[in-house]
Structure 1
Amino acid sequence: MDPRTSAQDVMRCDLCETAVVQMHCDTCLINLCTACVGKHMISDESKKHEIVKFTLRKTTPLYPVCISHDKEQCEMYCKLCDVPVCATCLASDQHLGHKLLKILQVLDKKKEKITKELAELNGTIYPTYQDIASDVQNRMSQLEKEYGDLSTAITKHGEDWHREIDKLVKKLKAEVDEMKNTQLQTLWKHLDKINKTMSDIKDEIHSFNIAIDSNEISDIFKFASVQIRRYNNLPEKIVPCLPKFTQGRIQGEELAKLFGTLSQSSLTSQKHGYSMKTTQKSPEAGSSPPVKQLIDEPETVTTIKTGYGDLTNVACLSDEEIWTSGYDSTMKLYRINQASLLKSITTKSGKIPYNIAVTNSGDLVYIEYSDRTVKIVKNEKIEEVIRLQNWIPDGVCSTSSGDLLVIMYSDDKKQTKVVRYSGSTEKQTIQFDDKRKSLYSSDSDYITENRNLDICVSDSGANAVVVVNQAGKLRFRYTGHTPAPKNRPFYPLGITTDSQSHILTADYNNDCVHIIDQDGQFLRYIDCGLNNPIGLCTDTYDNLFVTEYNRGQVKKIKFLQ
Structure 2
Amino acid sequence: MDARTSAQDVMRCDLCEIEVVQMHCDTCLVNLCKACVGEHFSADLSKPHKIVHFKDKKSTLIHPRCTSHDEETCEMFCTQCDVPICTICLASDQHLGHKLARVLEIRDKKRDNLVKKQTELKEKIYPNYQDNASDVQNRMSQLEKGYGDLSTAITKHGEHWHREIDKLVKKLKAEVDEMKNTQLQTLQKHLDKINKTMSDIEEEIKSVDSVLESTDISSLFSLSSTLDEYRKLPKKITVSIPKFIPKKLQADQLFSLKTISLKSDEHDDSMKTTQKSPEAGSSPPVKQLLDEPETVTTIDTGYGELYNVACLSDEEIWTSGNDNTMKLYSINQGSLLKSITTKSGNKPSDIAVTKSGDLVYAADRTVNIVKNEKIEEVIRLQKWIPQGVCSTSSGDLLVIMLSVDEKQTKVVRYSGSTEKQTIQFDDKRKPLYSSGPYYRYITENRNLDICVSDSEARAVVVVNQAGKLRFRYSGYTFTPKNKPFYPRGITTDSQSHILTSDYYNECVHIIDQDGQFLRKIDCGLREPQELCTDTNDNLFVVQYGKRQVMKIKVVWDTKRNFSYMGHYQNMHTFVPVSI
Normalised TM-score (structure 2):
0.48
Higher Cα Rg: structure 1 or 2? 2
- Greater length-normalized contact order (CA 8 Å, ≥ 6 residues apart): 2
Normalised TM-score (structure 1):
0.50
